[in-house]
Amino acid sequence: MRDVAIAKNRARRDASTAGKVAGQRSNVRKAPARQAARKALRRSAARFHGRRALAALLALPVGLLGVVSTWLGRKLGIRALIHPGRRLFRRITATARAQREDRDTAINDVKDQAEAAADEEAAKDVTGGLGDRVQRPAVPVPDQSTTTSSSEGEHVSGFQFEEHAAEMEQAAQSYDPESAMEILAMVESLPAAITSVANVMKTLAERSDSEFPLEKEVADGFNDIFGALMSAVAVAEDMGPLFRQAHEQDIARHEDPRNGPEAEKGWNV
C-alpha cells in the first residue's frame, strides 16, 4: 500500500511537471506569432488615433461654420445644418473604428493560424528536436584518451558559465550609468542579451543529445531551461516600449531638444 501511494504521488507530480513544461514550450513556440501580432495591433491603434486627429482637424473649420448653420438649421427645421462639425467628426471616426476592428480581426486570425501551425509542427516532432534516447555502441569501446601526469594539473576546457554569470552580476551591482538614455539603450538590448543566454542552453541541449556522453533527461533539462529563457525574452521585448511610454517627455528632450541641446538644458533642475 505504501508503494502504491508513493507511485500515485510520483505520477501526480510528474503529470503536473509535464503540464508546466508543456505550457512553457507552447508559449515559446507561439511567442514569435504573438509578438508580431502585438506589433501589428500597436500599428493599427496608432493608425486609428491618427485618423481621429485628422478628423478633428477637418471638423474644426466645419464646426466653426456650424455656429451659424446650427442656428439656421433650428430655425428652418433642417437637421443637416445642425452641428455639422460634430457630425463629420463622428462619421470619420466611426469609419476609422470599423476599419480598425477589421484590421484587428485579421491580425488575430493570422496569429491564431500561426499558433495552430506551430502546434502542428510540434506534434510532428514530439521529442522537441531531441532524440528518444542516447546512442550507444553495440560493443564496449576501449578508452583511447591520453592520461596526463599529476604535475600538469586539471585540464579546463575554457567554458565556465558560472564565472561569466558572476561577472555579469558584479557588473550590474557596480553599474553607474552616465544618463537615463544609457539605461534605455541597455533595456532595448535586453531581448538580444537574454536570447544569447537562451542559445547557450539550446546549444548545450543539442550537444548533450548528439555529442556529450549524457542521458536524454539531461538534454531535456537544458531544453526546458531554453524554453523558460525564451519566455523571458517575450517579456523583455515589452520593456523598451514600456520605458519609452513612461518617460516619453524625458526622452523627447534628448532625442528632439527644443532649439538644440544647449537650449534644452535651461529646464534642468
Q: How far apart are CA 61 and CA 13, in angstroms?
A: 69
The C-alpha atoms of residue 59 and residue 234 are separated, in whole angstroms, by 41
Neighbouring CB atoms inside 10 A of 253's CB total: 16
Q: What is the pLDDT of residue 21?
A: 64
pLDDT score recorded for residue 19: 67
* 145-163 tens-digit pLDDT: 444 444 444 444 566 778 8
Domain range annotation of the chain: 1-126, 160-259
Q: What is the dihedral of CA 81, 85, 90, 91, to 10 degrees?
A: 70
Task: Record the pTM.
Answer: 0.44
Q: What is the pLDDT of residue 56?
A: 86
CA-to-CA dists, residue 105 to 12, 98, 101, 110, angstroms: 40, 11, 6, 9
- At residue 135, the pLDDT reads 53
Take residue 114 and report the three cell numbers written for it. 500561426
Instruction: Return averaged pLDDT per consecutive 10 residues of the chain, 269 residues in all.
Output: 73 69 70 85 90 87 81 79 84 91 92 84 59 51 46 54 83 84 87 87 83 80 84 84 84 72 60
pLDDT at site 98 = 92
Distance CA 203, CA 215 (A): 16
